[in-house]
Amino acid sequence: MKLKGIVPRTWRLLKRIFLILFVAQLLYIILLRWVNPPITVTMISSWFSLWGTGKSFKRDYVNLDEMSQHVKLAVIASEDQLFPDHDGFDFKSIEKAMKHNQKSKKIRGASTISQQVAKNVFLWQGRSYIRKGLEVYFTFMIEKIWGKKRILEMYLNVAETGEGIFGVEAAAQANYRKPAASLNREESAMIAACLPNPVKYTVNPPARITAWRQRRILVQMRNLAPDPDVAALIK
């Protein structure tokens, strides 16, 4: 009899906890439509990794209109050229990546800017089905609640752009001693070039692979600039 009473009470408690957590995360998503996150799991991890090394942690949030159009275009050209057009997921790229990963030991990703924001703001780094499932959920939610400009703004503020450096403003100050608003095409492409691996793909001094990626991104920027959807997003 005692067991029969405990099970329903436990189930009701679990449902209540789940409801509270769901409402809390929903309110947090809505709040971040206007307010920048105080910290992320990735930032905390980076801060701990720098502990005792003498290297400093750098982060600086700025509004989208305080960033050069070049750096906005550079990250779209580098990371997600279909960003203005999709609903958070690039299914063709996902399919191509899955086929590649079945044949190769070198894992290829297919995350959109929206997916990267969902991971960087709400989740943790690493690969697991649980994290990927949560990433899908948060990607869907920010696409519906935030919109493209806020997602791009968030990405440019929370993306790791160097060891212990987060956001394009911090990257601009650390590497070029200027604000993100003053970045030119070459500097913007160099910062975007480091995004796949900001610790290995150094900007200053530029690693060989960073310089190679910069040249490719500059070409892609020229090709993408006339796109009216992209132009409307970065202006």
Q: What is the mean pLDDT of residues 10-31?
A: 92
CA-based nearest residue to 113, from 142, 151, 66 = 151
pLDDT at 51: 85
Q: What is the mean pLDDT of residues 104-130?
A: 82
Strands 165-166 and 160-162, sheet pairing: antiparallel
Mean pLDDT, rounded, of the chain: 90
Q: What are phi and psi of 45, to 5 degrees?
A: -60, -40
Instruction: Summarize pLDDT for 210-224 with one digit per residue, the tens.
Output: 999 999 999 999 999
In DSSP notation, 137-196 reads: HHHHHHHHHT-HHHHHHHHHHHSEEETTEESHHHHHHHHHSS-GGG--HHHHHHHHHTTT
Work out the percent of the chain whose per-residue pLDDT is above 90. 73
The distance of Cα 34 from the centroid of its chain, to the nearest Å, equals 17
Mean pLDDT of 139-144: 97
Round to whole Å and give the CA distance between 147 and 89. Answer: 14
* DSSP 3-state of 7: helix
| Structure token digits, residue 171 | 């990257």
Q: Give the global pTM.
A: 0.89
Q: How far is residue 21 from each of residues 17, 67, 78, 221, measured CA to CA in Å?
A: 6, 35, 35, 42
Instruction: Please name the amino acid found at residue 32.
Output: L
Task: With cut-offs at 50, 70 and 90, classify the pLDDT of residue 109.
Answer: low
What pLDDT does 106 receive?
A: 58
